[in-house]
Structure 1
Amino acid sequence: MSEIIVTAQKRRESSQKVGIAITAVSGEQIKTMGVADSVDIARLSSNVSVSGSYAGQMSQFTIRGITQNDFNDHVESVIAVYIDDTYVASQQGQTFGLFDIDRVEALKGPQGTLFGRNATGGLVHYITRRPTDDFNGYADVSYGSYNDVRLEGALGGRIAQGVRGRLSGMFERFDGYIKNHYPEETFVPIALQPALHSSKLPGAGADLGGMKSNWALRGQLEFDLGPDTQLWMAGFGSHSVASTGPYQQVPTVAVLDAAGNHVNTLHASPTEVCQVIQVGACVHGGFSSYPGALRPRPGGDWFGYIDPDGSGPITSSDYTFDNANTMTTYGGSAKLTSSVGSVNVNLISDYKEFKKNFNLDLEAGPENQFAWHGIANTKAFTQELRVDGTSGPLKWVTGLYYLNIKTHAVHGIAALPDSAYPIPSWDQPRIANLKTESYSAFGQLDYQLTDTVNVIGGLRWTREKKRYDFEVLFVYPNDNGDPYGWDYSPAIDFPGFSQGLYANSRSETLWSWKGGINWQPNRDVLVYASVTQGAKAGSYNAGGPPLAASEIPYKPERLISYEVGLKSTLFGGKARFNAAGYYYDYHNYQAARWLGFSSLITNADATIYGGEAELAASLTHNLEASFNIGAQHNTVKDVLVGGVRRNVETTFTPKLTLSGTIRYTVPTLIAGGEVGIQASANYQSRVWHNLNNFDANSLAPYGLVNARIDWTSADKNWLVAFSVKNLTNNVYDNIGFDLSQVCGCNLQAQGKPRWFSVSVRRSF
């Protein structure tokens, strides 16, 4: 129940005094909740969920139905992620291990006025612990299920008079939790196995979902340049090597109309024999090694494969490796802060570089068919000058912002020489290069009209320039047996599979603004109302088969949010109750759909409305609890699906989210220390994983229960904890892709099973 200070309005304030829907989590809460990954914050907040790609190896936030479900690396998320006031430009960069964190602020609704970059639906801001004059640090060691080893630590303090430093880092590794029985068991009848045309590659057949190594390091220095001037500098780097993502296939059937449009996808029943259904008749799927119009095994995929336990922990997949996915991030930040009277000046510089090489089995089975590669390099530089101050009843902030992003990305289908039997194998790399420059000027005023009422007004002007080139190649695969190899030569001009160079540039002016009013009838209650506009620039598709030139660019999107809310502190600070309701009017929503071999973004209008509430209370001196609930409804209008325009719902957006935590501290000291017992749970309703809303493209609702018991020494220097996540060992899917016309299956990524861990932490 301690007060959490946030910087949602670029100044330090209690979260209860800010007229924005905020989920603020302190570093202490992160520690006691056992939060280890950046996206775990979603489970602590209402109307927040997680989407992703690459079989769950990449994740990103969905807030109040706002998401960007496109895996291409030149596409930025519509939910902005910041670390220490600096923007994370790459979708890859949104997934990282949490360590040495002071707090996390999740802001809901458009935040473009002050934060600017792609904060249309909201943002998540991670603030690390800063160096102090006092020598302090900690070391944390944990061991858990699947040989999960995690090390975390930090050390900092005064280096010299007016100079402070801090060094922190983490390391983690764990085994795959989906057991791969390939090649010993393919779960395909012996009579059908010759059609697989599988050949064991060196290193293939690894278990899925493991982390071979994941380390991160952060160093900070802070200098006092004068009584009111400080310079903070940070350098950081991280590198991870992970196994093939935790995903499996579900047999599905594509339904086509007479013109060949894909109009629905159905789950294949145990007796299903049709590869594809067109106007009620069985037709051949087109990419199968089995040439007939019927499935060789009822209820299986096109090759006869049936996963033995559905989404359970057993599979058979030939193109799986323990080093399939590598990610590297590094960079540096600097912040110069100076105060002159009541005026504060902040100058923030940041450079980040992201490198990625991801690989996965396209059909997630024992068939030697196609693989999917994704390679990207993103370089981002930002510069911000921000000035704020107070003059009587007026609080103000203004500034300038510059951003430069350069992305080179290659995504697409890859194959080994015999993969696509009986047709010749081929690769289809899609090469995209995007350079973005963005200039902004912004300002926001907060004026105290009376003792209880203040009004807020803000405006941001952005001029954005993009230069893009894109090419789809069709090549025969190499013969060197390299499972990760792209072979661009010789490229073949093959109609329907290759595309000549597309080049384009564009400039756009974007406006974000905010108007709001806060009423505080007493020190414990805040009622607020706001109208806010957020905007995200247009960009370009990078899909295949080749797109018409007119389909490659898409327009900027604009969201107008109407919101009312209540924040209250009750019973002398022993309880908090916050609630909000909102209505979103979305223009040219950048709606992403997965089409089987690629994604496509088109513009469509949408409406979203909903509400949320959270209650936190110290029920007794030793018992505290928190609960939250979120509900929403959305409609995306006139989306072209199967040749017909119809209304659909957004992806990865549960209509209902619930979560709660209860913690009891034993009143009697045990072994000279304090024992805490904690339980938490969260639930989300069904979500669509594809904007087409086909029958088989939804993921079932699920709930998770976590438990923890910990012991803290009297001097607070030692902490020993035993915890279990997913206590009931619930099997659940959190990401999906429709490949019904590629393998007669959908791909669905699984969350982690029951996970025990014990940890020991020493603070000093």
Structure 2
Amino acid sequence: MKKYILASSVSLLTISFCTVASAQSGTRSEQQATRVDEVIVTAQRREQASQDVGVSLSVVGGEQLDEKGISVVNDLENAVPNMEVDSQFGGGQPQFRIRGIGAREYSSNNASTVGIYVDEVAHPYTVTTQGALFDIARMEVLRGPQGTLYGRNTTGGAVNIITYAPTADFRAGFNAEYGTFDRFKVEGYVSGQIAPNLLGRLAAVTEQGGAWQYHRDTGEKLGDLDKSAIRGRLTWDASETVTVDLAATYSIDKSDGRGFRLLGPYKVANGSVTYPKDTAWRITGWGISQRLADVAGVSTDAKPFRDNDGFDVNARIKADLGWADLSSITAYQTFSRKEYNDWDGTRFQESDVYFYNDINVFAQELRLSSTSDGPLQWMVGAHYADESIDGGFYTEFRGSTPPNYLSSLINTAYDQSVSAFGLFTHNSYQVNDRLNLILGLRWEKEERELTSRGTYTAPALPPAPQTFDTTMEEVTGRTGLEYKLTDDALFYASVARGVKSGGFTTYNSPNSQAARPFKPEIVSAYEAGVKSDLFDRRLRLNGALFYYDYKDQQVQGIEFDRTAGRLGKITNVPKSHIWGGEVELVWAPINGLTITQNLGYKTGKYDEYFAVDSAATVAANPPDGPWDIIISNDRSGERLSFPKMNYGGSVGYDWDMAGWELRAETNYNYRDELYSVSSASIIDAYWLWNANFSVSPAGANWRAGLWVRNMFNTYYEETRNGFNSSSRPTTSPSQGRTFGVRLSMDF
């Protein structure tokens, strides 16, 4: 509670300061209140004011990304209520959760509970979303099951990333920043007409430097960024009724990985060294063995690293048929992942992993949408996807065999293919000036196939491969209503059913039976909310409440096979539920001053869950099996593991003084505590504050600024790792305070 009072006090002090500064500047017309800007979104596949869309929706504008410190999609968790993104165990495999719906796993082969879209093109494997964000117009985050508007079906929600389109007039510009630990970022673009009826835009970015961690034994630095990307877009008016949009993006990421800290004293397996608990924030350790270096194609002095590259190309065609618009989206994506992580955080090889993946995705979508001004608005669509993801990972874990107490090099490899086809429709009917009814449906069929040899130890020959398959055929949908309480207030309510694909567990297991498929999860979502603009649109206040009925929730668990014994794998919880809500506020009390606030709360429980008790089951059966007696614990009533609450906001003030345009801004976010399943411990709650100040001559085409991120140098953790048992956990820390300068220029 003290933290909430502190946050409110700081906000009020900032508001008071800005109000006084405004009164003293005397450059505004009698300090009359301005209005909250109208935001146009495409969340429902057509341009609408965000306040007219009857769904729970948050929008982050492209100009806000730098101010809020959003450099990768993961950072959205500090700007959007009831959203979390974890890079699992400090690696490049993020997991997205919205309203508590989301997985926690480090393998790359399963579908995400949250759909990630870039210019309407789905990224079904979240490891491909970790490139630099650049040339972004806005980001839209939708909460709740999606499937009647989008190419893929998700239970948690969707993140739509919309990049800037080519412009008819010539424009160019760049944004450069330099900061602590010699980190710098340079982003630029050029846009304009290339030929009659042909517009183009070329944008590029590079991020370099920033090594903030160091090796406890050698002092060597870790954490340098080495990311670059380039995107080209063409818009061709092929005729008066046909427009073609072409886009291609190439990205490369050769950044250092994240180092781990020791949460307690750590005695290495052979007993030669006992490390004390790490107290220095930036300290870490690593060391790759010769055999793991050989398979990774690096030397034994390699740091934790990423060596990823991806190429995306798509064509979006829109044809005006007179009575309807026909849209076609054809997309192809290829991505290569190579990544080495040292999870034990020491120079000993006791929890090291090297990931390797090749991902290829082809997708085709067709949509037909009404164009009439009548009460009925309709859209029908079809989506097809063909995907392959091959690869796996090598691991070295703490062992018990002298002289070095290390296991041999373990390989877990798989080949997976996915074929998906869906038909969907979204329709609305305007009953009268105030009431709008909505009905959406989706049918889809998805086939997944995975070939695995299980986990085997080199140089032994791998076992014979086994192939597993799973098919999902589901009907989902959404029904709802939108009712205008006044011209500036909208009430909405909906009932939706969403489904997330089943899949395969690709963890370390001596038996390939661990890859047997788990079932899809299904969410029945009930939601009601209000969107309102008050006081002549000086204040925007939106809120929503939700209840989720969760069936076959996918969680990390344990199963026993009669002959194979214990299998660590993803399992299904028969029944659980989640409920909560969000409030978002934007207030413009005086000209130049904008205050935003957001609050998200959620909680949930298992309603029916009998989890296998591994120790009791092993004790109840013969040492070498068969495992016929399964002992379970009733975990019904146990709270689901996610942060209950997050609270955030910003205060920004623009004013003129002596021929200069100035802006001061601060933004903040509170994240509640989180239970770490891997380490069986609590990750503490934290506050995160950023601040920005910028200045420009009135009417100039350039702007200079100062920024600070994590202003109060808050220590906070992302994930914890208990692979060497919960008595020896390590943690993935986040960066402390950084500061720097920024220069922007447009031509």
- Compute the displacement of 1:424 (Å): 6.1
Higher mean Cα deviation, 445-454 or 463-472? Answer: 463-472
Q: Normalising by the residue count of structure 2, what TM-score does the alignment of the two structures yield?
A: 0.86
Kindly indicate whether the alpha-carbon contact (under 8 Å) linking 1:69 and 1:593 is maintained by their aligned counterparts in 2: no
Amino acid at match of 1:711: V
SS at match of 2:75: helix
- CA separation of 1:147/1:752 partners in 2, compared to 1, >3 Å: closer, same or farther? same
Kindly indicate whether the alpha-carbon contact (under 8 Å) linking 1:208 and 1:247 is maintained by their aligned counterparts in 2: no
Kindly indicate whether the alpha-carbon contact (under 8 Å) linking 1:100 and 1:168 is maintained by their aligned counterparts in 2: yes
1:510 aligns with 2:445: no
- Compute the displacement of 1:398 (Å): 0.4
SS at match of 1:71: coil
Kindly indicate whether the alpha-carbon contact (under 8 Å) linking 1:351 and 1:380 is maintained by their aligned counterparts in 2: yes
Q: Normalising by the residue count of structure 1, what TM-score does the alignment of the two structures yield?
A: 0.84
- Compute the displacement of 1:418 (Å): 13
Partner of 2:702: 718
- Compute the displacement of 1:701 (Å): 0.3
Kindly indicate whether the alpha-carbon contact (under 8 Å) linking 1:709 and 1:723 is maintained by their aligned counterparts in 2: yes
CA offsets 1:312-338 (integer angstroms, 9 cap, x no match): 112343348446211111120100011
- CA separation of 1:239/1:417 partners in 2, compared to 1, >3 Å: closer, same or farther? farther
- CA separation of 1:126/1:606 partners in 2, compared to 1, >3 Å: closer, same or farther? same
- 1:120-159 equivalences under 5 Å are 120-159=155-194
The CA distance in 2 between the partners of 1:419 and 1:43, in whole Å, is 45
Say which of 731, 734, 738 aligns to 1:751.
734
CA offsets 1:295-348 (integer angstroms, 9 cap, x no match): x9xxxxxx52124316x1123433484462111111201000111224111000
Kindly indicate whether the alpha-carbon contact (under 8 Å) linking 2:260 and 2:344 is maintained by their aligned counterparts in 1: no
1:92 aligns with 2:127: yes
SS at match of 1:722: strand
Say which of 100, 107, 112 aligns to 1:72.
107
Say which of 584, 603, 614 aligns to 1:633.
603
1:552 aligns with 2:516: yes
- Compute the displacement of 1:370 (Å): 4.2
CA offsets 1:186-245 (integer angstroms, 9 cap, x no match): xxxxxxxxxxxxxxxxxxxx433332x100000011100111210000111000112131
CA offsets 1:154-209 (integer angstroms, 9 cap, x no match): 0010001100000001000123212212247xxxxxxxxxxxxxxxxxxxxx4333
- CA separation of 1:154/1:379 partners in 2, compared to 1, >3 Å: closer, same or farther? same
The CA distance in 1 between the partners of 2:419 and 2:149, in whole Å, is 18
Partner of 2:621: none
The CA distance in 2 between the partners of 1:23 and 1:335, in whole Å, is 25
Partner of 1:656: 645
CA offsets 1:33-89 (integer angstroms, 9 cap, x no match): 443222222211111111222414443321100112111111121111000000002
Amino acid at match of 2:657: L
Kindly indicate whether the alpha-carbon contact (under 8 Å) linking 2:330 and 2:363 is maintained by their aligned counterparts in 1: yes
- Compute the displacement of 1:712 (Å): 3.2
The CA distance in 2 between the partners of 1:719 and 1:63, in whole Å, is 36
- Compute the displacement of 1:31 (Å): 4.6
1:232 aligns with 2:283: no
- 1:164-563 equivalences under 5 Å are 164-183=199-218, 206-211=220-225, 213-251=226-264, 288-290=269-271, 303-309=273-279, 312-319=281-288, 321-322=302-303, 324-391=305-372, 392-414=374-396, 421-423=403-405, 425-476=407-458, 490-492=459-461, 500-547=464-511, 549=513, 552-563=516-527
Higher mean Cα deviation, 46-55 or 416-425? Answer: 416-425
Say which of 640, 657, 662 aligns to 1:669.
657
- Compute the displacement of 1:649 (Å): 3.9
Kindly indicate whether the alpha-carbon contact (under 8 Å) linking 2:318 and 2:327 is maintained by their aligned counterparts in 1: yes
- Compute the displacement of 1:18 (Å): 0.6
- Compute the displacement of 1:126 (Å): 0.2
- 1:96-107 equivalences under 5 Å are 96-107=131-142
- CA separation of 1:550/1:369 partners in 2, compared to 1, >3 Å: closer, same or farther? closer
Unaligned runs of 5+ residues in structure 2 are: 1-35, 289-300, 560-565, 615-632
The CA distance in 2 between the partners of 1:446 and 1:370, in whole Å, is 54
The CA distance in 2 between the partners of 1:418 and 1:646, in whole Å, is 33
Partner of 2:714: 730
CA offsets 1:449-471 (integer angstroms, 9 cap, x no match): 11100110000100111121111
- 1:552-701 equivalences under 5 Å are 552-592=516-556, 600-604=569-573, 605-636=575-606, 637-638=608-609, 640=611, 642-643=613-614, 644-647=633-636, 648-651=638-641, 653-666=642-655, 668-670=656-658, 672-690=659-677, 696-701=680-685
SS at match of 2:479: strand
Say which of 59, 63, 83 aligns to 1:48.
83
- Compute the displacement of 1:566 (Å): 0.4
- Compute the displacement of 1:625 (Å): 0.4
Kindly indicate whether the alpha-carbon contact (under 8 Å) linking 2:506 and 2:515 is maintained by their aligned counterparts in 1: no
Higher mean Cα deviation, 312-321 or 425-434? Answer: 312-321
Kindly indicate whether the alpha-carbon contact (under 8 Å) linking 2:454 and 2:514 is maintained by their aligned counterparts in 1: no
- State the aligned residue count: 672
Amino acid at match of 1:739: F
Kindly indicate whether the alpha-carbon contact (under 8 Å) linking 1:178 and 1:315 is maintained by their aligned counterparts in 2: yes
Amino acid at match of 1:755: T
- Two-structure CA RMSD over aligned residues (Å): 2.5
CA offsets 1:80-122 (integer angstroms, 9 cap, x no match): 1000000002221122222111111000000112114242100
- CA separation of 1:607/1:134 partners in 2, compared to 1, >3 Å: closer, same or farther? same
Higher mean Cα deviation, 215-224 or 341-350? Answer: 341-350
The CA distance in 1 between the partners of 2:312 and 2:109, in whole Å, is 19
Higher normalized contact order (CA 8 Å, seq sep 6+, divided by chain length): 1
- CA separation of 1:118/1:700 partners in 2, compared to 1, >3 Å: closer, same or farther? farther
Kindly indicate whether the alpha-carbon contact (under 8 Å) linking 2:261 and 2:283 is maintained by their aligned counterparts in 1: no
The CA distance in 2 between the partners of 1:608 and 1:625, in whole Å, is 30
